[in-house]
Structure 1
């Protein structure tokens, strides 16, 4: 039987990265809808094929086949329609890692409504901002009293927009019980036709991207977006048919759809979801091994926790492949993980606005700290300050050439903000705002956000290299590198550091850390200013807000 994957790609197997880059193409049919054209196809042809394995810290587990997901998403779609949700409406999903997220997102795809995934860490102000900006008429929440309180507080201000509030597993005044309402609904849902049908250019997802500067942007993706995650899942994460993939991310982040639904299912792999309340490296390992995870994706921070465990106590025989993204990988973490497990961490780069666009693909030998090479269908260019292509070794902005058409998976623009869209997307290029350089072998190396580059005494210094050097020292738990205005050097390098519990701030430790950086990297990159702090300012998604540190320093001066 022909696999579903074969239907949507030019070829499945490739002999080399060069072959892959030159000959891989995604076949995009008219009016593609992931719920009908992937989930329902499996439900009809392989109804017992596993799609989702879910567990939590209370010992509860659920295993869903594609037939199960068709059944529950049909019922959810009928329930939402009965509440007035129609094609083009925006529905916010604040569901953490609840399995109902998959019922809801597929139901919204069926209706043609736009899913707006959101983290459970939003406050009243965040909820009001999102409801007003995206005109959200329905919100569906996990049973988290704190989240529900914030939504209720927001509702008092936006009740003219927000019509429906649904909660899972609780009875609450003013809220509908999701499960009760869903169970009442019919299990039959016909694919809409005519004006209610979905088209490729319709808006599938709307993500509020928590950038490190300014208010969150609304990143819109079309109904063809899931197909582009074939690149992410099959060829970067290296998922396999009948495998089990685990990406560490709850449903509020774009990383969830990178690793827990689209590309994995098209490639035939089930996805694993561990719904934990508090992160624990040993529990994560225990559950991943218990359920037989075969491929794994997590940010470097998670790997830093994992290598602190006694990994000799775990049986990794099922685990075949590991990748990382979300922040640059410190070579020290790569080496330690490889030494303990024998598996090479394969890095990747992308944004909420894209799918994986640079990666260390299976044919490539990883260079620790390098993102890898450009994805097929993505024409990546490094452009200097004059908009000219960079030479090998020269730092430039990562840009995607769209002059000959948009690659699959790139966003369609920022909702309701043509000014911001045109600021980053002009002259035939989408400007990512991220800086990198390319070596003689064609590997890309992340430097930092364009706004974070430090210019000191004629040198350009990216924060990551200095942060990576500092993080190798046992005293450093977290750090952020920024530039401080200086009348002589233009800027000097500053390190804002959170110490590990066994170390105490002081001049002696400051000198030790400065000397450490001088030994690990070029001496001119050492931080002349060092500040020890209890915590770093971060976005809701955990990204360091270096802009806040810079602004604070300017006020101090």
Structure 2
């Protein structure tokens, strides 16, 4: 926080979509923002209409909407007209197999064109889209599909065979599995390509009430099952507005959001926001590779780039020379999200690219960017920035079942938001009590600890609970512990996140063995392999330590906080409820 402020480029700031933060904040209203959408007759709305179909009337249908780059580097362009036709075919496929408005359609795919067609085609039909990471193992898939009552799953032959076939009989609500590479050889599945070929390229967008459910995104808690955050069609107001204000997006931009749509960022800003604005978006099928990324930035003439701190740290590791060897002069705005962006990365990017990464903050529950560093204001390295126009943020302290505002500057409290923005989650699916606990004293309580300085910039301090953030993934310890407990040698498990220079955090598990089992390197590797098979490599622990006993409260709850304090050499705090322990 003592680092030198990176002053705004005044010439660029004057041309920004929001040239004056204070003026925009004073005059902004969500009603005015909603009025900027095309909408549908009778006050109806549909995200797919705003993202795609409206572009026919405004004359932009033949503009490139999506440029997909395959693993071998070959680009394929899809115009807005192409996506309108493909999503219409998919919507007709859903109708032909009996899928109705409000029913859940899940995807388990990598970043392939079919994923984007599935997302927008599902919304066009008025059904609910729920993306899952292709790296998930069977158990995360099962739990998410059980909670959401998934009726349709769109995936590949390989992913179905490895991750879904074995749990299919535990998913009675799953009626259809559509394989993008199906050939009719796998029982209980359908060939999506054949269905799409036979479907009509015309489909009238389903008119939806703005409060109708559109998206279901899962986020993990520290205990219990994953939470299904419900978002509605009206959220598109925030998607478009925040894309314009926080990311400075314009119709003439070539925009690259590197996030996978399995993560809320990859849906809100990797699909919806750029298409509603009318930009061209880049999608890369391959995983991170520094040289490849710089080549894409140069060759595709990317103008706005949105990525994650983990990726930025990996680019830093690759060295500045790799970046300077490329012509990246087309880039005019860079932003970051997923976990706090360390000040060193902000300063590094300013030195290497001639501009800083603009960090921003939001959650699965908020549905869109809430706090950001904007093109028209100074950047304080390490700060989240200031709340968006239309967003009232504060620092509060919980007390006696309520909250009190923390008015003093640079005093740690819980980051809280006044409810009412369009992309605010409307529920945790089937968990009303869990949802209600998020709202206290007229605030939405984020669970994140933060501070606010004298100029209104917010500073992230840490998570109030135990959720682990690893390379952009939110990982609930309970999910990992449950998978490890299935192993025959395991008696107890406690899981925490530990700092990692590249990923932000990695998952570490503390394991107590059953009698008759002894710790060994072979057993450690077996447990890691077991977890990877159950959970997938993105969620499974990277490290395992054996302990004779784990610290527990008298009620039997393993004290993860104590495990983390000892791992990091931090104060242990109150241990009055500690019953059993062996360091």
| Fold agreement, TM-score > 0.5 | yes
Does residue 236 (structure 1) correspond to residue 243 (structure 2)? The answer is: no
Pair 425,385 (structure 1): closer, same or farther in 2 beyond 3 Å: closer
After superposition, the C-alpha distances for 1:133-173 in whole angstroms (9 at most, x for unaligned) are 11111100145x24542111110222x31110011124341
Structure 1: runs of 5+ lacking an equivalent: 1-11, 454-462, 468-493, 501-532
**Which residue of 1 is the match for residue 85 of structure 2?**
71
- Contact kept? 2:18, 2:245, Cα under 8 Å: no
CA distance in 2, matches of 1:320, 1:544: 37
- 2:170 pairs with 1:157: yes
Trace 1:2-401 onto structure 2 (pairs within 5 A).
Answer: 13-25=17-29, 26-27=33-34, 30-44=43-57, 45-142=59-156, 145-158=158-171, 160-171=172-183, 172-174=185-187, 175-192=189-206, 197-276=207-286, 278-309=287-318, 310-354=322-366, 355-386=368-399, 387-390=403-406, 391-401=408-418
- The equivalent of 2:437 in structure 1 is 423
The alignment partner of 2:437 has SS state of helix
Deviation at 1:544, TM superposition (A): 11
1:13-49 Cα shifts (integer Å, max 9, x gaps) = 5441101212223225521112224411103422211
Confirm or deny: 8 A CA contact 1:75 1:187 kept in the other structure: yes
What is the distance in 1 between the residues matched to 2:215 and 2:44? 16
| Alpha carbons of structure 1 residues 321 and 540: separation in structure 2 relative to 1, 3 Å | farther
TM-score (ref. length: structure 1): 0.78
Partner deviation per Cα, 1:216-269 (whole Å, 9 max, x = no partner): 100000101122012331111112222111111112110112322222122221
After superposition, the C-alpha distances for 1:446-484 in whole angstroms (9 at most, x for unaligned) are 00111369xxxxxxxxx99xx9xxxxxxxxxxxxxxxxx
Deviations 1:186-205, CA, capped at 9 Å, x for gaps? 1111244xxxx421111000
Give SS of 1:224's match: helix
Measured after TM superposition, the shift of residue 286 of structure 1 is 1.0
- Deviation for aligned residue 1:213: 4.6
The secondary structure found in structure 2 opposite 1:136 is: coil
Tell me: CA distance 1:242–1:495, structure 2 relative to 1, closer, same or farther (3 Å): closer
Conserved in 1, the CA contact under 8 Å of 2:260 and 2:270? no
Q: Which moved more, 1:99-108 or 1:414-423?
A: 99-108
Partner of 1:472: none
Q: Is the contact between residue 381 and residue 398 of structure 1 (CA under 8 Å) also seen in structure 2?
A: yes
What is the CA RMSD across the aligned residues, in angstroms? Answer: 3.0
Count how many residue pairs are aligned between Structure 1 and Structure 2.
467
**What residue number does 2:477 align with?**
none
Structure 2: distance between partners of 1:371 and 1:541: 29
- Report the CA distance shift for 1:382/1:82 in structure 2 as closer, same or farther (over 3 A): same
Q: Residues 48 and 65 of structure 1 are in contact (CA less than 8 Å); yes or no, is this contact kept in structure 2?
A: yes
202-211 or 369-378, which deviates more: 202-211
C-alpha displacement at 1:285, in angstroms? 1.5
CA separation of 1:368 and 1:382: change in aligned 2, threshold 3 A: same
Structure number with higher relative contact order (C-alpha < 8 Å, ≥ 6 residues apart) = 2
Q: 1:15 to 1:279 in 2, by over 3 A?
A: closer
- Write the distance in 2 (CA, Å) between the matches of 1:547 and 1:157: 32
Question: Relative to structure 2, which stretch is displaced further, 33-42 or 107-116?
Answer: 33-42
Q: CA deviation at 1:551?
A: 5.2
Corresponding residue SS for 1:27:
helix
**SS of the counterpart of 2:339?**
coil
Q: Do the aligned partners of 1:346 and 1:361 also contact (CA within 8 Å) in 2? A: yes
Any idea what the Cα deviations from partners look like across 1:415-473, whole Å, max 9, x if unmatched?
100110011123321111011000111100000111369xxxxxxxxx99xx9xxxxxx
**Structure 2: gaps spanning 5 or more residues:** 1-15, 471-495, 503-523, 542-557, 567-579
CA gap 1:98/1:357 in 2 versus in 1, 3 angstroms: same
Match of 1:132, SS?
helix
